[in-house]
Structure 1
């Protein structure tokens, strides 16, 4: 395979440039480590996610738009984005000679000289600067975790310039809010008594300018707030999904529906940090400004406002404990109801078959009833806070007018001053009411944030900063050394003191009763779980040193329970193996027995399989899984009951295909069908998590027939 073909199938030219720069900066990164879990476009790395791949190698990157003449030579080498989705590495510029030094990904690391004019014609106007990040070692421990290291607040702080502009706009808007009350006060106190129409027009023009500026600032503030929220939403959603897909299976939640509900709680956090919250928090300090201006008119008018503020905050504080308890209960109940829904949808056929609809209906209705009651209590409490704040605001206005009338009759206040104080009082009490209303939303957002923090704190397969031993091509040598393993929260060990070695190219069958540990061996070989004791070696290297994605790329796996995804048959066959041509698809279909079914279907490879492959039969789904494993052309084949759902003729065809394709490859076969043992040269027998027999096929089968192989105690 040529270098160009390899790039097209494994990340494209941008990834080649990144790997070259990793070697330049002495950073470790393999193709699989760079691409695993990233949203690729037609199997290629794109500029929008380049920084995420670079970060895995400890490199920080920045996408810039500038001409070649503006490129800073001290920041080279850099990745140049060319036309037609191509890229190269710019290593040096010589404007006097009119040349540039570049590295083409097709030519590995060979540096060539190129005329600037020719490079300019190919240059798209964008380039990516990279530099190594500085990392502290264990000798420089961090005293406390900085906010920018948090998955949520770190993203929020990236928009600091945007929020700075929002705060400045809010300050100007609140300053403009003083203009209207002062305008009214001057009209009543000076213009009307003196019939000063010229002054009236001057003040009117001035207030009109202020109102226009206020409108523009409000529109800009709303746009900036939504822009900041949308930017954060994209990055945070991507981070959450990447965390979920990278999570270790040992830390997988017990209920997928409940877990999904906790993930959806991100909506509560996002809404809380939206425009209403930010505007309310920015407006809150201006309460003091409005009180100061009212105090300058007459200090007695401030007293009703202060009393009303104390009443609102006191009631809001008293409601918080109840609000917090209701928020936590509502999130738990919502997660339970969502778990019931997902479980029903995924097992609807089974529910109908066993007649368990009434039981699940009862669970759903009881959960919904409890959730609606909690939600109603929470809404009533939240409404009492917001409506109570509104009542206090109107009461304060009435009290202020009463006090103002007495001050006017005593000659201590003008009519214009009273009207201005009344208008300012509503602006002063508004942020207080909004802050009280936000307190009712805060606990729900805080509870949601806590559940998200728990999700983001779960261990992942690919922790940041870990370097892997790259094995792009596996030989297929597998060894277990005194391996012990137990599933999370399990009462007994799934495997205990397991030791064996499978040489590269060897064909081995693993036999055992149900629950003996056969499938657990497969999951450990795939790196889905880590052993609690002992060591698993792949090609002589501890499996924990190998990148999980690179390891699984070298293993063609057929699971016992086949999972297909919504989409076409082609999508499911090529999942995880981009740029598969039709010849490879047809070859895999012939080997797996799918060819006859595909050829007679009007849509062929573009047929829809439905969610979980429900439009296919059990045997067809298993054939798809076999084809998906064979299309990878991996050196290791790991098959768990590959013909359990197939008829005898289909099984015979699969057996012949496997015998042909498994030549020179390591084959591990878990089966209860004796007919498939013809593919194996050696048999390993496990029982109750222990190895009870291991040897040549004929000897182990004879021992089994004679009953000389017993069960593990």
Structure 2
């Protein structure tokens, strides 16, 4: 039996009262189902032989009332299930998204497309646990009630549905192991297919420019073929159980009629009782047919749950039960103590015993060759990754002990790969921060250089950006990211190649504007660009993951110039 984790069990348990209402409605609808068969039996046994028209009218009026209430209760039952499903969906969705934004980047291993596909699997869980399951399972206990009534009105005829019930159950159980084996493959194949599609869409310009379409087309076709193959095998197994259940319903009806005719001939059964028994016998098998269909979905749901549970249980940036240090405002001191770091899944040391300190208000550049570990330093300061050994401290506190919200609220950052969000340019700068009004927005835009090109755009600051800022140049995206990083006047600024896509004129203008803006702020800069070094007081050179040299900017630049000569 699958034991549900709290992240799924809690939203379901919160709607116990709703599910109880569904159960009560199910009791009445199943009891009303008896009325139809008893009505038929009474008509054929009592009304027809005696031509009792008045009694038929009275009985039909009563039956009409029952049917009206049955309709109302069925609508209410569906409404209760849908309401519970909607609220469970909302809570699960919020929980899954919160886990996403707070997850450790070290735990992100799949492609973006496959990862997005995994996160959408919560809809499968919601539908299974909060909708289809309830509708099917609440009717199962009434199988015993219908069997008892069939026995009461038709005696040995009850043997027909009794014999078919184990057949339906056995068919569902027989295919379950096979479905369990295929479920993970079906899910994985679907993720692979979505991964290729998302990768192609997000990098369509590069795909076209580099003629990578042939390679990706091959991957897509392979993923589609694999998905189709495993889905076909899964559907065949599912169809077997479902079709057995459907055939069982027909066999029960025919068997009851066949057996009942002989009993009528013997005088031990009336025609009205036979009609009532044939109606109820189908009701005995129908819930099991629904359960058979549900069982075929159980394997896929279990596979989705296991993968989602692994993601939800992996833990976020803060360990469960942790009591992080809360700092409303940081001074901006950065300390690296014997830091060793390698990315998850690798053993190569990107940083190897790195130690340095940046005082509050100091401006420091990290320079070095490609792959020397410069960008990793920026990621560690932001708490995006944790050191494998050693400590990264901000204001004397290990970044692992600081609350991530406090840490990043006090750090304005521009990463090497600039990402803009869907929405307007205004949205991308302000990020819905109420403290950034139009005046502050314009100030930030002028400092970053965004204001220089926004006036030439048709929509201005309200221009809706395409996905990831498509349609803007790399330098324009960097300008918007710089404006965003300065919002809220954070005391610590971390830039990783913030001007790599800018022309020299735009870069020099930006440097002159940033000099005043960065006054009294700690500034950590990763760059290859000479003009940006005007903003720093000290340079740290990294080579092969180690600190090769550090010192005042002018001294380090002179030593580098001498070394090159």
TM-score by length of 1: 0.76
Residue by residue over 1:51-85, the C-alpha shift from the partner in whole angstroms, topping out at 9 and shown as x without a partner, is xxxxxxxxxxxxxxxxxxxxxxxxxxxxxxxxxxx
Residue 401 of structure 2 is aligned to residue 545 of structure 1: yes
- What's the offset of the Cα at 1:383? 2.5
**2:372 match:** 516
**1:443 match:** 299
Distance in 2 of aligned mates of 1:199 and 1:581: 79
- What's the offset of the Cα at 1:412? 1.2
> Does the Cα contact within 8 Å between 1:476 and 1:665 map onto a contact in 2?
yes
**1:183 match:** 39
Tell me which of 557, 562, 565 is aligned to 2:413.
Answer: 557
Distance in 2 of aligned mates of 1:671 and 1:655: 13
> Does the Cα contact within 8 Å between 1:251 and 1:459 map onto a contact in 2?
no
> Does the Cα contact within 8 Å between 1:558 and 1:638 map onto a contact in 2?
yes
Distance in 1 of aligned mates of 2:44 and 2:498: 91
**1:310 match:** 166
- What's the offset of the Cα at 1:596? 2.0
- What's the offset of the Cα at 1:267? 2.5
- What's the offset of the Cα at 1:678? 2.2
- What's the offset of the Cα at 1:146? 9.1
Q: Which runs of 5+ in 2 are unaligned?
A: none
**1:704 match:** 560
Distance in 1 of aligned mates of 2:250 and 2:7: 43
**2:207 match:** 351
TM-score by length of 2: 0.96
Residue 425 of structure 2 is aligned to residue 587 of structure 1: no
**1:684 match:** 540
- What's the offset of the Cα at 1:361? 1.1
Higher helix content, 1 or 2: 2
- Residues 220 and 611 of structure 1: is their aligned pair in 2 closer, same or farther, counting only changes over 3 Å? same
**1:342 match:** 198
**1:596 match:** 452
> Does the Cα contact within 8 Å between 1:277 and 1:438 map onto a contact in 2?
yes
Residue 290 of structure 2 is aligned to residue 434 of structure 1: yes
- What's the offset of the Cα at 1:463? 4.6
**1:532 match:** 388
> Does the Cα contact within 8 Å between 2:318 and 2:400 map onto a contact in 1?
no
Residue 529 of structure 2 is aligned to residue 673 of structure 1: yes
- What's the offset of the Cα at 1:155? 0.3
Distance in 2 of aligned mates of 1:480 and 1:607: 42
Residue 322 of structure 2 is aligned to residue 454 of structure 1: no
Q: What's the secondary structure of 1:672's corresponding residue?
A: coil
- Judge which range, 239-248 or 189-198, deviates more: 189-198
- What's the offset of the Cα at 1:274? 4.8
Distance in 2 of aligned mates of 1:464 and 1:578: 31
Residue 126 of structure 2 is aligned to residue 261 of structure 1: no
Residue by residue over 1:419-457, the C-alpha shift from the partner in whole angstroms, topping out at 9 and shown as x without a partner, is 111111111111111111111111111111112111211
Q: What's the secondary structure of 1:466's corresponding residue?
A: coil
- Residues 298 and 688 of structure 1: is their aligned pair in 2 closer, same or farther, counting only changes over 3 Å? same
> Does the Cα contact within 8 Å between 1:608 and 1:615 map onto a contact in 2?
no
Give the aligned CA root-mean-square deviation in angstroms.
1.9
**1:382 match:** 238
Distance in 1 of aligned mates of 2:381 and 2:308: 31
**1:291 match:** 147
Distance in 2 of aligned mates of 1:420 and 1:614: 68
Distance in 2 of aligned mates of 1:292 and 1:197: 31
Distance in 2 of aligned mates of 1:609 and 1:310: 60
**2:357 match:** 501
- What's the offset of the Cα at 1:672? 1.3
**Matched pairs, number:** 563
- What's the offset of the Cα at 1:162? 0.7
Tell me which of 250, 259, 269 is aligned to 1:394.
Answer: 250
Residue by residue over 1:468-496, the C-alpha shift from the partner in whole angstroms, topping out at 9 and shown as x without a partner, is 32221211111111111211001211112
Residue 20 of structure 2 is aligned to residue 164 of structure 1: yes
Tell me which of 172, 182, 191 is aligned to 1:326.
Answer: 182
Tell me which of 540, 546, 551 is aligned to 1:695.
Answer: 551
Residue 208 of structure 2 is aligned to residue 373 of structure 1: no
